[in-house]
Amino acid sequence: MNEESEDETIAESKQIEKEASRNLYVLWFGVFMAGMGFSAIMPFLPLYIADLGTFSKPVLNLLSSSIFAITFVMTAIISPIWGKLADKYGRRPMILRASLGMAIVIALMAFVTNVWELMALRALQGLCGGFISNSTALVATQTPRKKAGRALGILVTGQTSGTLLGPLLGGFIASWVGYRGSFIMTGSLLFLAFILCLFLVTESHKPGEYISKKGEEVDPHPFRNLPNKNLIFGLFLTSSVIQIVNTGIDPIMALFVREINQTNFATTMLVGIIAALPGVSTIFWAPRFGKLGDKYGPQYLMIGGFIFAFCVQLPTAFVSSVFLLMLFRFFIGISDAAMMPQINSLLTKSVPSDMISRIFSYNQSFMSMGNVIGPIIGGLVATMFGYRGVFISGAIFILINFLHYLTTTKSIRK
């Protein structure tokens, strides 16, 4: 009898690992498509807006920035709501909602007749969000803990590669089928992600007890009752700072490269390569650092990531060679790879399982706000202190965030 029970336990364990592995790779594709959906229109967005009306250059720049940013703003606002619903009803329903919603909304962008319709759909795209945060939550809760860091690291590569390759693929598709055709093709690929998730992703979700004896809805684990609120909020800030530092250089990168370019290569080509390098290194290193986090503890990998990021970001301000700039940007991707999977791993271990989706949704909100705030800060710093000041300000952000992290993780490091 004992042998039969043991065999059943082994078989059940293998089945769980098989389902977790299938979930991971299907969701990797979905996260890749979600990342691409957010970034694919960037190469031609101003041109598409220009086709929708007659605008002066300042107005066109303002509209392009607003239409790009509104998606992230709406994502930041709505993500916690989707996260709470996911914890109550399951992550899989939220994944299906988000993938189908984004597929429909992005496809509809092909049929807009004016810029306000496009802005409304971009806002609706943000409201349909939650795919990445709930995919992360599902992988974190369905994967055996000893392998969670590696799995989360792999998932990070999906988002990073989608965001990285999105502009490249978007530009290629637009040149092939036109601006409107690119929206339809992107929406079709997201619909494919929805179909795959519908038939291949599984979840063994047991909703928490949300109803009191008086019939009132209650929250079983409100934030005020968590013993490690400072740690969780500190990790949210770190996610935001990573995005602020990464996107803060966007307004000035092309101008900075043009200033230091002493080669025969075209500035536009060099900017494209430099923009891609952090993502390339993150894709390569994130699963490896995730595995190391499983072995030695994510809190220690985070410390190494902070130190490495500061030691790379600060010297970047003083480079005079475009090739040295490439090297430092590649190294920044390594620091991101060391930190991002560990943030997800620490968040997973810091809260009850029936709060995971809410936690990752708040983390997504902070990341989205970082994507909005970063270019604004970068543009202001460049105006006041020059291009190199943007890298110095990024190093200061990293240093302050590191000191805060050391105070919030003191107990778990002991």
Does the structure show a pLDDT above 80 at 158? yes
**How many CB atoms lie under 10 A from the CB of residue 269?**
10
Q: Which of 181, 165, 179, 131 is nearest to 28 (CA)?
A: 131
pLDDT tens string 189-208: 889 999 999 999 988 765 55
Residue 78 half-sphere exposure, CB side, CA atoms within 13 Å? 19
Q: Left, alpha or beta for 218 (phi > 0: left; psi -120 to 50: alpha)? A: beta
What b/e readout covers 43-76, taking b as 16+ CB neighbours within 10 angstroms? bbbbebbbebeebeeeebeebbbebbbbbbbbbb
15-30 pLDDT tens trace: 767 888 889 999 999 9
Q: What is the mean pLDDT of the chain?
A: 84
Q: Mind listing the domains of the chain with CATH numbers?
A: 11-201 (1.20.1250.20), 224-414 (1.20.1250.20)
Measured CA to CA, the distance from residue 140 to residue 354 in angstroms comes to 12
Q: What is the pLDDT of residue 405?
A: 92
pLDDT band at 69 (very low <50, low <70, confident <90, very high): confident
Confidence band (pLDDT; 50, 70, 90) for 5? low
